[in-house]
Structures are given as structure tokens and as C-alpha cells.
Amino acid sequence: MKRDAIACCTLTILVIAFFFRLFWPEPLLLVTPDFGRSDAWHFTFVTKYLLGKSLQSGMLPLWIPELGAGFPLLAEGQTGTFFLPNLILFRLFDPVTTYNVSIVFAILTLGWGMYVWLRLMKFQIFPALFGSITLAFSGMILAQLPHGALLQGVSLLPWVMACTLLLFQKKSRYAMVLWSFIFSQQLLTGFPQAAFITLLFAAGYGAWLLIGSSTKATDSIRFFVSFIAALGLSAIQILPSWEFLTQTTVARGITPDTASYFSYPLKHLLTLANPFALGNPKFGTYPSFFNFDGSIFWENVGGIGYIPIVFFFVHLTRRVRVNLHLFFFLATIISFLLILGKYSPLYLIYSFWPFHLFRVPSRFIWIFIMSIIILATRGIDTLWQQKRMQKILRLTIVILATVNTIILFTTWYSYHALEPASAWLHPPKILSSLPKEANVLTVGAEAVHNRSFLTSGWQTVEPYRVLRESLAPNSNAIWKIASSAVYAGRFLRRPSLFDDMLAAGLMNDNNEATLSGLGKKFLDLSGVNTIITVIPLSQTGTSRLTNNIMQDNITVWNNPTALPRAYLATHTILATTKEEAFAAISRDDFIPGKSIVVEKPLANSFHPKETATGRVRLTQQTETSLTVVVENNDSDAVLVLTDTYYPGWLASLDGKRVPILPTNIKQRGDVVPPGNHEVRFFYAPKSLAEGTVVSLLSIVFLFIAVVFPLPSSKTRIDQTTSLPLPHRRRSRGL
């Protein structure tokens, strides 16, 4: 145990040494660009920042009004709201420190888990340490630092595998509870593809462990019950996320072409030893995935170094018996076929559920790399235990392992873009040019970003400040500025349909944007009162944007005819398809602020006048509630909110529950009669309430299973045979 503790401390010291600069002498932020934007800055940090602010105010990040006219952040999932390290750390500490700690903790979790798993497989201490360090510092992991949910999800993969080994070896209720808890935590990280890949790996691993077992049925049931219990524990996140999935553009799954688009090119095998064999994104030398048939560097790079590969082949040259090592050899082959995606003879699998729910088949590289490392570690372990020339062999292994660690450490140490947190979080200059209650739309920032990304990489981050300064989503939420756009892993169907229609009138060829009269109408309808452009903008039509202000090549345009967040409309047009809705809004007699599109006929009692004279006031605004006061209304009308229509939002009119109508494709509406009224909108998702109940019941079930276990059949037999039979007398004496 003492030597194991020393090994884990060694791994911990290496990880802390790698990331220490994030904390001292001043806090740094990871802002590494991706294609189109920086996932680190525009998604991972922002969502974690919002999580921290919500938790510290005693709330959950259920609904964020500043993102896309309202967005269900918790339901989207990747924030990892209920993942225990997130709940604890982001509740207690400032966002920057916690964000950096979460990165370090994920890498440590991964490394510790790999070490524990290897030791449970009876590997010697030093080979197990080598395997854990190689995984923790591999390109497969360190290239993915900008993707926080992915990183946290994959960090628990070796722990689930270790618990699977315990589950089938120990056959105890404690192993079942531990497996359920660890896998539920992986589900709660909010990256379902990680859990899906882990489950496939664990199920195959468990099936292999059953070979030769005399209790196959019982062990299989034990694994299945553990899985169901894990689903129950994580239901608090699964049910809202499932509801979110039903509202997205890929509710029925993605097409096979999309599901297999980001496939692994064979030439990427070169990056197993040298991660930059095909180019380095930092210097702009890695090909664009448009020109590389859908290849993305950070999804495909293995980067474990030459030495593990050598030991991998050393192990293959030895006689392989039918045991767990054969399993990892088969796992290497099968996972390799899966990462090939559209190039694979297994490509048809991406047409079926649940494979067609996810993009990026090359993420099966997680199994591929882990299997290679395990077999390489086996090769080292075999040599480590050789009796002949033991000292020379061990010294050679230590030297080679040290060299490989140094290579991995230095290779990735300077890869990512890091910026002082104080400077990066300083409010952008553009804020002083925005009107009060600004609702912005940023145009062209991605195009400017990509010009630098594809040609020069990020040797300097100066070209990428345009996304920060122009409030490209989701960074706008940090400064409490509302944006009509949102950046997420999956996009809601209704806002996406509306954005497609807007794109027909706001065309962007990456060099210049053109706003037509139709585009202006959609901007008005969505309530966008401020347009921020970083490329030239030309306008057609009679109604135009005004008062343009330029700062550092960023132009702020005012839209004086944008609709307010809440207004009364009396002219309703029925449209049951997106084509009908587009045609209705395009008509000359469709007047934003008076006309709206509805999907179902309103009640026969709805008799509006041609115009309504009432006015509305917004009161008591919070993230999850809004009160609207309607005054002096002389007609039946529809109260319209430009906020996003989404399940879980409820409404009451003068204290009585009323239905919310989808209007203008993506917005909310509520019929109000003449007179003065108070309309209250509040977000109370039923899916979260139901998920909470299921999770609490699952906790109770597991507690009872541990504290009051049912006796096994063997125990019952033993107890029965130990009792005196009723027709026999107790023996006295000898």
C-alpha cells in the first residue's frame, strides 16, 4: 500500500507540475481556439461560469435568458450540474480557480483510475504507473482540454472498468453500489457519448469475465441491476436531457452520413507516436477538416509516444493465451474498426440506434488507446518480472518510461493558448456602445476567426479577441448581455427553423454580409435591437439599421424598429408548416408587432379588433419567472414574448393557469381578454421534478441494499441446514 501511495503521489506531482502555471503567479484561462470559435472560452468556461454564479446564489442554472432568447442550460447537460465535483467546487470557489481545478481534477481522476484498474489486473506497481502516466499525458486527453464535459466524462472510464472487474470478481453488493455510483457520475458529467462508449466497453469486458464462470446468470443480473440503479441515480439529469433531446433538430437521430462524418483517417495512425506528424493546429499546418475529409485533430490524435508502441508489439510477439489480454487485443481491433467510421466495414452500424445519436465515431479512440496502453503495460510487466538480468531490464524500463514521460510532457506543455484571466475577463470596450436592455446578434465573427485559425493557428491569440470583443455567443452571458443566438452541443428545433429563415434575409459569404428587407423583418420580429458586425454589412430595402459605431474594426448597428420583449398582437395567421410560416412572414401585410404566426386555430371566442390600445409592463423578472402587467386593453389579443418556447414553461392569467401558445415559430404567446390583467410566466420543468424523485428513490434503494441485504441462496441453505430438525432430539454430550 505504501508503494501504491508513492506511485499515485508521483502521478499527482507530474499533473500538478504540468498545470501549476494555471494558478501561479497569476490565474490563467485556457482559450485555445477550435474551428469557428473557442469551445474552451465560448462554451466550457461560460457554462461553468454560469453554473458557479447560479450555485453561489442558491439556484440551479435551469434557464439562462441571455442565451438564444432563453436556453435550458441544465437540460442541455454539458454543464454537468449534478456531477459532484462540479456541485461542490463551483459552489465554494470563484469561477476561474474552480474551472482550472476541474481540469486538473479530471486528469488526476483519469490517471488514478487507470492505475487502480491496472493494479486490480495484477500488474506490478511501476508498469501500472507507466500506463497511468501515459494515458493521462496522451494526446487523446491533453488535446481535449477545451472540451470540459468530454474530459470529465472520459476521466471516469477507467474507474467504471475497474469497478466492472470488482463486480464480477468480488460478487458483492458493495461492488454493485460502487459500480452504480461511478457510472451514474459519468452520466451526470453531461457527455452521453462518453457513457455510451464506456457502457459498451464495460459490457464486453464483463461478458469476457463471465467465461468459465459457474454463475453466469446471477452475475449478468448483478451487472444489469447495477446499470438500472445507475440510471436511477442519474435520472435527475437524464430526464431533463431526454426532454431537451426531443426538442432538438436531431430528435430522431442524425443521418448516417453525419453520424460517420468525423471518421478516423488511416494516415492518422502516424499520430500515435508523433502527434504532429500531419501538422500542428497551433501553427496552422494541420489541414482543415473540409480538406481532410472530416478529420479533426483533437478527436483523432493518439499521441502516446514511440515507447508504448514498441512494448505493445513486444507483447504481441509473445504467446497470447485465452485470457483478459486476448480481450484487450480484440478490443483494439474492434475499436479500430469503429473509429474508422465511414471507412470501416462496420459503417452500417452508424445507421442504427443508439449509434446514430452521436457524431464523431473517432471517439472510439478512447477504447483503442486504452487497450494499446494496457497491452504495452503487459509487455513491460512481463519484462519487469524476468529473473534473468532483472536489474538491467528494470533500469532500462525506468529510463525508457522516464524518456517517454518527458517527451509527452514537453510536447503538450506549450500547445494550448493561455491568457491572464484578469485581462480576458475584463469587460469588452463594445459594452459602452450598447443600449440599455440590449439584445444583440453578432455577424461575421466566425469567418474572421477561421481566417487566422486555418492559416496561422494561435501562435498569438490577438486575432481571436474579435470573438470576445464582439460578444459572440456564449461569451455575452458573462456580462449579462442578451443574445438572440446560442452556441450548444445540440440546437433547439424551433429557434433553428427561425434562424434558417433569418439567414435567407441576412446572407453572409464570410467576407461581407447583406441584410434585405425580409431579413430586417425577422430581426424586428426576434427583438434584436443591436447588430454587431466584424465584416462589412450592406443593406437593401426601405427599413434599415442606423447609428453605426465602429470600435477596433467592430461595428455596432442600432435597430430602432425591433419589437420589445413583450407586446400585444391582434392579427393571427395560421401556419402548420415551416414553409407556410416563412410565406406568411414574407407577405407585405405581415407587420411585426401586430401580426403573428400561430400553429393552431384560436378559440371561437377570440374576436380581436384590428388594433389593440392596451400596453404592457414587465415586472418581477428573474431567470425562471416573469410577470407581465397588461393595462387598458380594449380587445382580445395575444400577449407575445420574444422568449424561446420550450416545455416546462407555465403561465397564469390573473392567478388561473392558462396554456402557452407557440407563436412566430419559436416564441411564446398567451391569449388575454380585454381589461387589465396580470400574466405570470414561470419555468417549472416536470422532467426535473420526476427525475429528482427517481434519483432519491434510487438512493434509498441502494442504502437499503447495503444496510439490509437480502440473504443469498447459499446463506439461506446454510442457515437451514444449521437448524435442528423438528423430529430430532438435540444431542447431549458427545
Read off the pLDDT of residues 162-193 as tens digits, 9 standing for 90 and up. 999 999 988 888 999 999 999 999 999 999 99
The reply to whether 330 and 463 lie within a common domain is no
Helix 157-170 with 95-120: angle, nearest 10 deg: 40
The reply to whether 83 and 216 lie within a common domain is yes
Cβ atoms < 10 Å from Cβ of 119: 19
Q: Is 580 within the bounds of a domain?
A: yes
Q: Which of 388, 415, 442 is the last residue of a domain?
A: 415
Tell me what pLDDT residue 172 has: 85
C-alpha closest to that of 366 among 311, 300, 439 = 300
Given a contact cutoff of 8 angstroms between Cβ atoms, the answer to whether 262 and 359 are in contact is yes
% of the chain surpassing 90 pLDDT: 77
Q: Is 728 within the bounds of a domain?
A: no
Q: Is 730 within the bounds of a domain?
A: no
Average pLDDT, integer, range 598-613: 84
The reply to whether 411 and 449 lie within a common domain is no
Q: Is 196 within the bounds of a domain?
A: yes
* CB contact set of 542 (below 8 Å; sequence gap of 6+): 517
Domain that holds residue 268: 2-30+77-415
pLDDT > 70? residue 321: no
Q: If DSSP codes are grouped into helix, strand and coil, which group holds residue 205? A: helix
Q: What is the DSSP string of 594-622?
A: TEEEESSPPPTT----SS---EEEEEEEE
The reply to whether 234 and 342 lie within a common domain is yes
Tell me what pLDDT residue 553 has: 83
Q: Is the peptide bond before 61 cis (omega within 30 degrees of 0)?
A: no
Reported as type and span, the H/E element at residue 180 is helix 173-188
The pTM for the full model equals 0.93
Tell me what pLDDT residue 260 has: 83
Q: Which of 392, 415, 438 is the last residue of a domain?
A: 415
Nearest 5 degrees, angle CA 226-CA 227-CA 232?
Answer: 95
The reply to whether 368 and 443 lie within a common domain is no
List C-alpha distances in Å: 491 to 73, 78, 189, 432, 649. Answer: 12, 13, 19, 31, 18
pLDDT > 50? residue 57: yes
Q: What is the dihedral of CA 99, 105, 106, 111, to 10 degrees?
A: 160
Count structural domains, the chain: 3
Task: Calculate Rg over the CA atoms of the chain.
Answer: 29
Q: Is 52 within the bounds of a domain?
A: no
Q: What amino acid occupies position 266?
A: L
The reply to whether 382 and 458 lie within a common domain is no
Q: Is 56 within the bounds of a domain?
A: no
Tell me what pLDDT residue 320 has: 52
Tell me what pLDDT residue 164 has: 96
The reply to whether 219 and 325 lie within a common domain is yes
Measure the CA–CA gap between 135 and 373, rounded to whole angstroms.
Answer: 7
Q: Is 62 within the bounds of a domain?
A: no
Average pLDDT, integer, range 437-448: 93
H-state helical runs in 302-443: 306-317, 324-339, 365-384, 390-413, 421-424
pLDDT > 60? residue 556: yes
Helix 686-707 with 173-188: angle, nearest 10 deg: 160
Secondary structure in 3-state letters for 352-380: CCCHHHCCCHHHHHHHHHHHHHHHHHHHH
Beta partners for residue 514, in sequence order: 507, 538
The strand order across the sheet containing 482-483 reads: 482-483, 439-443, 530-533, 554-558, 546-551
The reply to whether 399 and 497 lie within a common domain is no
Given a contact cutoff of 8 angstroms between Cβ atoms, the answer to whether 439 and 527 are in contact is yes
Number of helical (H) and strand (E) elements in the chain, helices listed first: 28, 21
pLDDT band at 390 (very low <50, low <70, confident <90, very high): confident
Q: If DSSP codes are grouped into helix, strand and coil, which group holds residue 492? A: strand
C-alpha closest to that of 597 among 620, 622, 578 = 578
The reply to whether 340 and 228 lie within a common domain is yes
The reply to whether 462 and 546 lie within a common domain is yes
Reported as type and span, the H/E element at residue 715 is helix 713-722
The reply to whether 522 and 615 lie within a common domain is no
Tell me what pLDDT residue 181 has: 97
Measure the CA–CA gap between 354 and 345, rounded to whole angstroms.
Answer: 18
Q: Is 498 within the bounds of a domain?
A: yes
Strand pairing category for 661-663 and 667-672: antiparallel
Q: Which of 366, 384, 415 is the last residue of a domain?
A: 415
Average pLDDT, integer, range 215-234: 92
The reply to whether 476 and 509 lie within a common domain is yes
Given a contact cutoff of 8 angstroms between Cβ atoms, the answer to whether 439 and 484 are in contact is yes
